[in-house]
Amino acid sequence: MSADDARAAAGSSRAAVFDVDGTLVDSNHLHVVAWWEAFRQAGHQVPTHAIHRAVGLGSEDLVTRLLGEETAGAETEDLTLAHKVLYAQYFERLCALPGAARLLRRLSDDGWTVVLATSASGEELSALRQAIDADDAITATASADDVAEGKPAAEPVEQALKLAGVPAEHAVFVGDTVWDMQAGSRANVQCVALLCGGIPRTDLEQAGADAVFDDPADLLATLPKSPLA
């Protein structure tokens, strides 16, 4: 086996798993606004800061966290639909965070298998991928349709590893919320947190982040010093 073949074989055994909202696409606060309006229309006053801390959970878990189990049980379906309709107005205007596409392509070129792990699906996921504009670097996507439990359960990250064909010890998960860090930790992968989702560094570290960077551009610029070196 040549040196190049050896590097290729070693590279193929590594997976870089990425959350999408707030990590690669600047969408967290758009979700906050859409959820806030959905709650308002249903007669609930929910503070935006509380919604922001819940972003990253699946819809059912988010509504339960913010309204309580009894109320959520009766209203989750309607609230989820309202949020979906309200958030869809931003699809054509979604923007990738600085350096997102370049980071994914760099990792792919370096031999990492790049997989997305997201609670989005359908048209929303398509809009997010269009905003990132790096499909050539993405090997697979574990979406909400592929798992029974969303983050902070380990299943989304484990599904991504299954798609990549890589064991946890050869993977790194990059996200922006405490739910991401908890999911990655439960899946026994190294966790990298980005601050561009708006969650404080201390919260991310306490939730399991092994390293913290500002955004995809910052991670790319300091890649040799990161767990993705």
Edge-to-edge order in the sheet of strand 211-213: 140-142, 113-117, 15-18, 171-175, 190-194, 211-213
Which fold does the domain 3-26+95-225 belong to in CATH? Rossmann fold (3.40.50)
Report the CATH architecture of 28-89.
Answer: Orthogonal Bundle (1.10)
- What is the domain partition of the chain in residue ranges? 3-26+95-225, 28-89
Query: Alpha carbon of 220 to those of 20, 104, 223: distances in Å?
Result: 16, 9, 5
Identical fold, 3-26+95-225 and 28-89: no
Question: How far apart (Å, rounded) are the C-alpha atoms in residues 180 and 118?
Answer: 10
How would you write the pLDDT of the chain (229 residues) with one tens digit per residue?
333 333 343 445 899 999 999 999 999 999 999 999 999 999 999 999 999 999 999 999 999 999 999 888 889 999 999 999 999 999 999 999 999 999 999 999 999 999 999 999 999 999 999 999 999 999 999 999 999 999 999 999 999 999 999 999 999 999 999 999 999 999 999 999 999 999 999 999 999 999 999 999 999 999 999 999 9
Predicted TM-score of the model (pTM):
0.93
What is the SS3 assignment for 198? coil
